Amino acid sequence: MSNDLLQRGKAIKLAVFDVDGVLTDGRLYFLEDGSEFKTFNTLDGQGIKMLMNAGVQTAIISGRKTPVVERRAKNLGIPHLFQGREDKLVVLDGLLAQLGLSYEQVAYLGDDLPDLPVIRRVGLGMAVANAADFVREHAHGVTRARGGEGAAREFCELILRAQGRLDAANAAYL
C-alpha cells in the first residue's frame, strides 16, 4: 500500500460506494417474473460496519435502482442511499453540502465510466481490480480484490489503517 494512499486516507470522513461491480460482482440476475437478485460479500459488509463504528460516514450512489440494494443498505445501516442516479457527482455535491464536508474528505470506490468523475474529484478515488481499464488508469489506487469479492473490505481497511484505527476496529471483536 503506497504512502500516497495512506496520506489521502487520513482525511476521510465519508466513504461512498457504487454497487454493481463494486459491492457485487457486476452480474445481473433476472428471474422469470422480472425481479432480480444480487449477491453481496459479507466481508465487504463487515468492513463497512467497521468504518461506521470508527466514525466514518457511508453512502451508496448507484446508477441502477432495485429493492435489493435498499434492503442491503438498511441491513448495514448505511444512512445515505441514492439509486437510479448516473449523475453521481451532482448527487455527491448535494450530500457534501448537507454534511458540511469537502471533496478531500471523501473516499469513493467504483468500477466503470459513470464513477470516473467522482473518482477524479475526491480525496481518495479508487477502483476495484476488475474495473474498466480507463477507470483504473485515472484512480488514485486499485484494490487487489475484484468487485464483490472483498474489494470494499480492502478499501475500508485502507481508510482505517490510514487513520490508525484498524487495530482498534479489529480488537473490538476480541
**Segment 33-63, tens digit of pLDDT:** 988 889 999 999 999 999 999 999 999 999 9
| 30 pLDDT more than 90 | no
Q: What is the largest CA-CA distance in the chain?
A: 50
* Residue 174 pLDDT class (50, 70, 90 cuts): confident
* Residue 1 pLDDT class (50, 70, 90 cuts): low
Other beta carbons within 10 Å of 85? 16
4 is in an annotated binding site: no
Between residues 103 and 27, which one has the greater pLDDT?
Answer: 103
Instruction: State the average pLDDT over residues 140-150.
Output: 98
Other beta carbons within 10 Å of 141? 19
The pLDDT tens digits of the residues spanning 124-144 come to: 999 999 999 999 999 999 999
87 is in an annotated binding site: no
CA dihedral 30, 31, 34, 38 (to 10 degrees): -40
| 72 pLDDT more than 70 | yes
Instruction: State the average pLDDT over residues 16-27.
Output: 96
CA dihedral 26, 55, 141, 45 (to 10 degrees): -30
pLDDT of res. 47: 97
20 is in an annotated binding site: yes
pLDDT of res. 35: 84
Helix axes 3-10, 151-162, angle to 10 degrees: 70
Helix axes 151-162, 42-53, angle to 10 degrees: 20
Instruction: State the average pLDDT over residues 150-169.
Output: 96
CA–CA separation, 10 and 2 (whole Å)? 13
Instruction: State the average pLDDT over residues 82-107.
Output: 97
Residues across the chain:
174
What sign does the dihedral 148-150-140-117 (CA atoms) show?
positive
